Amino acid sequence: MKNPELLTPTWSDYELIDCGDYEKLERFGSYITRRPEPQAIWHRSLSEAEWQRMADASFRRDARSEERGEWQLKPQMPSRWTVEYRRGPMQMRMRLALTSFKHVGLFPEQAENWDYICERVAEIRKAQGRAEVLNLFAYTGGATLAARSAGADVTHVDSVKQVVTWSRENMEASGLDGVRWIVDDALKFVRREVKRGRQYDGIILDPPAYGRGPDGEKWVLEQNIAEMLECCARLLAPKGFLVLNLYSMGLSAMLARSAVRQAFGAAAEEQFGELYFEDRAGKQLPLGVYYRMKR
């Protein structure tokens, strides 16, 4: 059996500077942020004084909430800024912003998957002339931009209208167009697509641990992922590819592989493992697990 692989992107507009004591210090383009990181269970390598000096924006949790908080900004820190990712046909520009949930609108470790998506789409288009890709729980659209950059017709599904608008802005900033935007609950959408007999050459699944659809539909990963994978197995074309990301702590790449294999059967090609970044002191911070396969 194939062993799990550790993957980390190379990206000039992103750097993990330091991590530890349940925080991480990161550079996005020209600006440095400080925010919580539950997996950084070791101690920081740099001093508190160095973190304070370097950080342009620091996230502080609200004592009344486990999720929300507010950012403390230095005078030079803008509320919005842009980073770029360039690799092959991908010339992506993404707007970042400081949200009350600590996120900035980008998961930089996903650049490894963007490269994979771009390569698979190019292969499919070379073989059959066109490619259709479905991006579920699509957030601000990094994977959508990767697939579209390679020439795919992309359906982008997310339950939050404001996030879909953000994705559209990223598409326009990247000089792209032609994405099909859907504001919907992802599970309800794939159920309907199965009934319609639709097929896609690529499916990207990036589900949260918990979530809500636009009409209050409840998503719980452990309860809903099996049905989601079963629907996606029916939607994926015979030579298609799947990319699955899992962020929940305690979920392993082996778990992702087993769940996908039960729904899809044995893969012609597969990769699975962890995505990570290494800070300046050499500490490797895991940031999620992935499973990628070709039928």
pLDDT digits (tens, 9 = 90+) for 221-250: 888 999 999 999 999 999 999 999 998 667
Quick check: 264 pLDDT over 90?
A: yes
Q: Are 106 and 142 in contact (CB under 8 A)?
A: yes
Of 52-66, 118-132, 184-198, least confident by mean pLDDT is 52-66
Distance CA 285, CA 228 (A): 29
Q: Are 166 and 144 in contact (CB under 8 A)?
A: no
Q: What is the mean pLDDT of the chain?
A: 94
Tokens representing 204 are 């990207």
Task: Name 64's Cβ contacts closer than 8 Å, sequence gap at least 6.
Answer: none
What pLDDT score was predicted for residue 261?
A: 95
Distance CA 196, CA 59 (A): 45
Percent residues over pLDDT 70 in the chain: 98
Instruction: Compute the Cα dihedral for 17, 95, 287, 2 and give only its sign.
Output: negative
Quick check: 41 pLDDT over 70?
A: yes
**Distinct helix (H) and strand (E) counts, the chain:** 7, 17
CB atoms within 10 A of CB 45: 16
Q: Is residue 64 very low, low, confident or very high in pLDDT (cuts 50, 70, 90)?
A: confident
Which of these, 280, 292, 284, lies nearest to 54 by C-alpha position?
280
- When computed from its CA atoms, the radius of gyration of the chain, rounded to whole angstroms, is 19
Which residues are paired to 180 by β-bridges?
155
Q: Which amino acid is at 222?
A: E
First to last CA, the chain: 17
Domains of the chain: 106-294 (3.40.50.150)
